[in-house]
Structure 1
Amino acid sequence: MAGSRIPRQLFLQGVAAVFMFAFTSLYMQIPGLYGPEGILPARRTLRPQGKGRWPQLWETPTLLWETPLLGLDTAQGLELLSLLGTLLALGALLLHQLRHLLVYLLLWAAYLSAYQATLTYHFETQCLPTPASWFAHHLPVWLHKLGVVATFLIEIAVPPLFFAPVRRLRLAAFYSQVLLQVLIIVTGNYNFFNLLTLVLTTALLDDAHLAAASGNSRRKKTPTSWPKALLALLALLLELAVYGLLACGVVHCFGLEADWKQRTVHSKTTFTFHQFSQWLKMVTLPTMWLGAASLAWELLTALWRYMV
């Protein structure tokens, strides 16, 4: 199994960075959204219901119930919580010693507390276009359609490759997700969910790949035995088969046709909404079981390495 020391640190740093951006973004929006004169003042969201301390905390788990003990109102408590969360996340990002389970537990608890007092309606906090959105809007229509096709491919067909036994397939899935998330970041402001997706995909990397990408690989060439050569050949055939299946599926499902005279590509959906819904119902449960089995395997192998 390839080493994962560097990806593990990247993951922990990435999670800390996402928390930092999340708390910073929230802090900047508090006056206009949750302050006394905001769209939805936080004091209206968190109102004591006359219940006991623990039932109230169980129903709405947030540390903001304790802000009156500090002489602060709910909005001020939310600002304090956001500042403390930002500083703690920044510390975990920069200092190796703070990348500890307790620190991340505190960050989770702080953001859960803040979430209880924020807007729960999409259209009151929906994303905003970026300067690059104007340029993306004026791209050719056929390119927009290809973008939709690529989004379907990367968001639906590619994620199962996260669990592929072939390392190159997992790396291909990683880079396709990176490409999609970067393009989304460039053309729309979706806060930190794209960053969180990028952080999660770092689990697909390993030390050997990162060393090779940075030019620090010092692997020595050794003679390959015939079993390893056979496995490598089978892995290559599987990889080519997967790419071919994805290409055929995309061409079939979206009716892709190249028009060389007009230098364009025609596409249309060849499936109905009902067919798509039925297909999702069919693959969702097996995919969840695959993810659960993969997580269980990683936990068991990590426990075994720890015990040995």
Structure 2
Amino acid sequence: MSQVMLFNRFLSALNFVYLIAFVSIYVQLPGLYGDNGILPIYASISNDEVHSVQQLFSGQPSLLRLAPQLGLSYAQAAELVASLGCLLAFAACALPWFGSLPVYALLWLLYLSLFSVGQTFMWFQWDILLLEAGFLAIGLSLRLPIEGSDRVSSGLGMFAVKWLLFRLMLASGVVKLTSGCPTWWGLTALDWHYESQCLPTPLAWFSHQLPPWFQALCVVATFVIEIAVPFLFFVPVRAVRKFCFFSQLLLQCSIIVSGNYNFFNLLTICLCLSLLHDDDFSTRKGPRRAAGLKLLEWGISATLFVGLFYLTVRLFSLSVGPDFASTVKLPSA
């Protein structure tokens, strides 16, 4: 099935994420990286004079290293780079035809230039994720003048995006367990999360008031969505694909309403588009499929859903008490 339309929507969504990222950096530059900021750029950037492209991208790859040769301070160069990133991202959002290989390459280079000197304030996973997704966009935006190439390239491109999403979600879930944190192993992490996160939203207070059994269920759902569901990303059955998409969407939206993680969750939702196909947005009925194929897909979907539910109930010892409150625990907890 085709993913040409989804491929274009992914690039459009990425343009919007780039815009948010550059605007966010631009408005915070003076306080974070200015000459009198918390972590001024001039104190961390390499002062070696740049004489070649190879030298520019060795060690600390950043266009800001050219600032002295342009007669600019490092803070001024950072504002220039962020401003250019804002303009390019806005143009790509407003003008779909503007998004092309040179534009995505420049957006990636501009963000890399800021990331390389960003120090503590840009050492978050979403900054790395945007650079990786942006690097994929460079190759995916290449259009070959061959008939039918769009269908092939979009399919391969969206598979690469899906693989990135798989790695992100699986790692996000596994690290919670490998960290050895007793709150994750004890399914009590959300009892503390809402009040201990860096930037809670007003709704975080209400989320914190939810009963402990519901918080534990949400932790279980997080483990299932982040560790188990990613392995279903590659099942070529429509019902399974949609289940994967909406489960990931539910998790990301839940995080958005309770905490501010900049563009991280929006970028993750952007990657989730790789789980869908163009036909999922069509109002027209597609060609009739053989009854045997439909039965096979139904059987695969039912087996996977029932199996996932059964394993979740058994692994976490889920049960419902007389007051309809659930009890849940890990066998080793």
Normalising by structure 2, what TM-score? 0.73
State which structure, 1 or 2, has the greater radius of gyration over its C-alpha atoms: 1
For structure 1, which runs of at least 5 residues remain unmatched after alignment? Answer: 212-216, 273-308
Distance 1:48 1:242, change over 3 A: same
1:19 and 2:15 are equivalent in the alignment: no
| Shift, 1:71, TM fit | 2.3
1:219 and 2:285 are equivalent in the alignment: yes
**In structure 2, C-alpha distance between the alignment counterparts of 1:164 and 1:110, rounded to whole Å:** 37
State the match for 1:235 in structure 2: 297
1:137 pairs with 192, 202, 208, which one? 208
**In structure 1, C-alpha distance between the alignment counterparts of 2:67 and 2:86, rounded to whole Å:** 18
Q: 3-state SS of the aligned residue for 2:326?
A: strand
For structure 2, which runs of at least 5 residues remain unmatched after alignment? Answer: 128-196
Residue identity opposite 1:42 in structure 2: I
| Shift, 1:52, TM fit | 6.4
Q: 3-state SS of the aligned residue for 1:190?
A: coil
Q: 3-state SS of the aligned residue for 1:59?
A: coil
Deviation string, structure 1 residues 147-192 (Cα, Å, up to 9, x no partner): 1111101111111111112121111101111110011111111111
State the match for 2:323 in structure 1: 262
| Shift, 1:47, TM fit | 3.0
Deviation string, structure 1 residues 101-156 (Cα, Å, up to 9, x no partner): 11111111110011011123669x98411111111111111111111111101111
| Shift, 1:38, TM fit | 1.4
State the match for 1:304 in structure 2: none
**In structure 2, C-alpha distance between the alignment counterparts of 1:256 and 1:64, rounded to whole Å:** 55
Residue identity opposite 1:243 in structure 2: F
State the match for 2:313 in structure 1: 251
Equivalent residue runs for 1:50-199 within 5 Å: 54-55=54-55, 57-120=57-120, 127-199=198-270
Percent of residue pairs bearing the same amino acid type: 43
8 Å contact from structure 2 (residues 22, 86) kept in 1: yes
Distance 1:67 1:49, change over 3 A: closer
**In structure 2, C-alpha distance between the alignment counterparts of 1:49 and 1:68, rounded to whole Å:** 10
Residue identity opposite 2:264 in structure 1: F
Residue identity opposite 1:101 in structure 2: L
8 Å contact from structure 2 (residues 29, 79) kept in 1: yes
**In structure 1, C-alpha distance between the alignment counterparts of 2:50 and 2:286, rounded to whole Å:** 68
State the match for 2:159 in structure 1: none
8 Å contact from structure 2 (residues 33, 75) kept in 1: yes
Distance 1:220 1:77, change over 3 A: closer
8 Å contact from structure 2 (residues 15, 93) kept in 1: yes
8 Å contact from structure 2 (residues 26, 79) kept in 1: yes
8 Å contact from structure 2 (residues 45, 117) kept in 1: yes
What is the total number of aligned residue pairs between the two structures?
Answer: 260
8 Å contact from structure 1 (residues 252, 270) kept in 2: no
RMSD between superposed Cα atoms in Å: 2.1
**In structure 1, C-alpha distance between the alignment counterparts of 2:291 and 2:303, rounded to whole Å:** 18
**In structure 1, C-alpha distance between the alignment counterparts of 2:286 and 2:262, rounded to whole Å:** 44
1:38 and 2:44 are equivalent in the alignment: no
Residue identity opposite 1:218 in structure 2: R
